[in-house]
Chain A
Amino acid sequence: MTATIVAFRLGDRDVEVMVRPLATLQSVLREQLGYTATKEGCRQGGCGSCTVLVDGEPMASCLLPVEDVAGHRVATLETLTPPEGLSPIQEAFVDAHAFQCGYCTPGMIAVATALLDRDPVPTDAAIAEALAGNLCRCTGYRPILDAVRLAATRRAGGREDGR
């Protein structure tokens, strides 16, 4: 159980952490670095509330040994938030009332960010597919789908009510 030093990029920072083998990225973010936007819902990859982006791809940080992100780029909701104001996706979540208790929101925004970076004008089916691994137990899925669609429409410069 020798501790090792792992270095990765967190948003626009370089970070180094000393960890025991198999420490998860989730526990390092929350407990060592104080980045608590990344939530803990199940610790078994089932709920999506711990989703972060690794090199732009959504990953369940509760199942990811932090050694696996050594040298890679990690984004959390803290790093996806601009220094001032909100990102277009965050604004769309506000405008579409896409949260109730808010606990799933960081994971939802991470997934939405990855989707729109890859597919700027996704179909409804593509949005639903992208969000399929993220649970909202308040069952407010429809406004979440609306928010992603609204963000895509705004980024494309289209009509907000158009589909």
Chain B
Amino acid sequence: MTTTGLHVVGRSVERSDRLGHVTGRTRYTADRTFPGMLHLKMVRSPAHHARVRGIDLAEAERVPGFVRAFTAADVPHNRYTILSLIGVEPEDELVLAEERVRFQGEAIVAIVAETEAAALEAVSKVRLDLEELPAVFDVEEALRPGAPIVTDWGTNTFMYEGHPCRRVRLGDVEAAFASADHIVEAVYRSSPIEHAPTETTGCIAVPEPDGRVSVYTNTQALYFSLDNTAIILQVPGNRLHFIGGTVGGGFGGKVDVIVEPIATLAAMRTGRPVRFVYSRAEEMLVSSTRSAWRIAIKDGVMADGRIVARQVTSYADSGAYSRQTPYALTKHAANAAGPYTIPNVAIDAYCVYTNRQPTSAMRGFGVTMASFAVEVQMDRVAERVGLDPWTVRFINAYHEGDLRPHRKRAEDVTLIETMQAAATLVGHELPAELRAMTSAPRPDGDGGPAR
């Protein structure tokens, strides 16, 4: 690659925010304050799964400093638009709960008050009449007949074009298993992971004299958040002015656009600035996590280390709602065979609903756990056939133009060169035949899996 004419690549560039960060002058969302600012706190479900029979606000309204409570009936379009904004349906998560809550911590009533202490006091005085329902917390239990159903559409899976999972098929895995020298099978599991940004998720919505609302937010997705809020509030986008870009840690945890709609609604209805910033407990227990995954891989392997068939069955725990997890499974299915050219592949990737905290984007979501499972599997394959783990990766690696299981050709492939560089960096001496390899197109044809 040539760097001629490039101004930034290959050079160290000073960050424009460096002086703000080292002097403490960078203004994060919660560093701002406005005259008359109200504080918003949520009444959240103490139950994992329950029918909401009644909400009694009488005692909360008597708390000194209480200003206003909002319930589902106050929200013009009471549904988050996280999926439809990326062209996926159906939307399933309500801004404020209606007849049912599906995870512990789900928002039911929003209260704004003069001080944070008054808001918390009023929240504690709201009486909820909940009828607890059976709950399910495990992806495989959620798929068994008779399991409590979390969604509104009657199954605990997201439906992909009529299928309960995202499917990828290439060749014939069963025939290849039958003729393989070895079968290597394993199941890989991961727990949910919380992004835990040091700055918790939050925003401040400020009504302006011209009828617009300024929203200071630490979202990672400013215009996505604006669109979502405009649809939920049923106002034109040009009534909202979103100000952001300063994020005290995100890692994917601040793309769920959950706090802005209700804070903006409260600001419009009260005519006053409204601050809604998660406590650390809310960040840990309510905001999205990375999904828990269960990934089963079955490989058919020849004695020389070539993988001739790979079957992957994956379950991601979406928690109680979709957020961005259905999309994560599509990304997962495209990558679950790893960066290896395997002629026979079958992938079933399930987005499963349970009564757990919703899950969503986090650093490479959908792909990170696929990589973990596939790479541990590659070591197991190497062990089974008695080859060095580097060798097994090199001989199965993509070459330029190879056909991937979802029918895309691999482009700009540098996997072999990257592994060679990695070996050098860790001081591992590769055998001469691996050092001589390149990612150049396979000599024997059309770039398809030439096996």
Q: Which residues of A contact B (CB under 8 A)?
A: 30-31, 34, 36-44, 46-47, 49, 76-78, 81, 86, 90, 93-94, 97, 99, 101-106, 109, 135-138
Contacts and interface: CB of A to CB of B under 8 A. Distances in A.
Contacts of A38: 24
15 contacts: A34-B33, A36-B28, A37-B25, A39-B198, A39-B199, A39-B248, A47-B198, A90-B22, A99-B22, A101-B249, A102-B20, A103-B28, A109-B22, A135-B198, A137-B251
A136 B197 CA distance: 9
A137 B253 CA distance: 12
Contacts of B30: 40
Interface in B4-58: 15, 17-28, 30-31, 33
Given A43-B280, A49-B198, A101-B248, A81 B23 contact: yes
B196 interface: yes
Contact of B24 (A31, A76, A135, A137): A76
Nearest to B28: A103
Contacts of A76: 24
A161 B271 CA distance: 57
By secondary structure, the B interface counts as: loop
Contact of A94 (B22, B24, B196): B22
A10 B198 CA distance: 25
A11 B343 CA distance: 69
A104 B198 CA distance: 7
By secondary structure, the A interface counts as: loop
Interface of B: 15, 17-28, 30-31, 33, 195-200, 247-251, 279-280
B198 A81 contact: no
A105 B33 contact: no
Given A101-B198, A102-B17, A37 B28 contact: no
Contact of A137 (B19, B27, B28, B198): B198
A148 B298 CA distance: 49
B120 to A, nearest CB: 12
Contacts of B26: 102
A44 B197 contact: no
Given A102-B17, A102-B248, A41 B24 contact: no
Contact of B21 (A34, A46, A99): A99
A102 B18 CA distance: 8
A108 to B, nearest CB: 10
Contact of A105 (B15, B22, B197, B280): B22
A86 B25 CA distance: 13
Given A103-B249, A138-B249, A77 B198 contact: no
Contacts of B200: 41
Nearest to A81: B23
A37 B198 contact: no
B279 A41 contact: no
B416 to A, nearest CB: 29
Nearest to A20: B117
Nearest to A135: B198
Contacts of A97: 15
Q: Which 7 A-B pairs have the closest CB atoms?
A: A37-B24, A102-B21, A103-B248, A77-B24, A36-B31, A42-B280, A90-B22
Contacts of B250: 101
Contacts of B28: 36, 39, 103
A86 B21 CA distance: 12
Contacts of A137: 195-198, 249, 251
Given A90-B22, A97-B15, A109-B22, 15 more contacts: A37-B23, A39-B28, A40-B30, A43-B279, A43-B280, A47-B198, A77-B24, A81-B23, A86-B23, A101-B247, A103-B197, A105-B22, A135-B198, A136-B198, A137-B198
A32 to B, nearest CB: 11
Given A43-B279, A94-B18, A101 B23 contact: no
Nearest to B250: A101
With a 10 A CB-CB cut-off, give which of B26, B33, B196, B200 has the most chain A CB atoms: B26
Contacts of B196: 137
A102 to B, nearest CB: 3
A90 B23 contact: yes
A102 B17 CA distance: 9
Contacts of B249: 101, 103, 137-138
A103 B199 contact: yes
Contacts of A46: 280
A44 B280 contact: yes
Contacts of A78: 23-24
Contacts of B20: 102
Nearest to B20: A102
A42 to B, nearest CB: 4
A97 B31 CA distance: 23
Contacts of B247: 101
Contact of B199 (A81, A101, A136): A101
B281 to A, nearest CB: 9
A40 B116 CA distance: 14
Nearest to B280: A42
With a 10 A CB-CB cut-off, give which of A30, A40, A49, A102 has the most chain B CB atoms: A102
A62 to B, nearest CB: 10
A6 B1 CA distance: 65
With a 10 A CB-CB cut-off, give which of A36, A47, A106, A109 has the most chain B CB atoms: A36
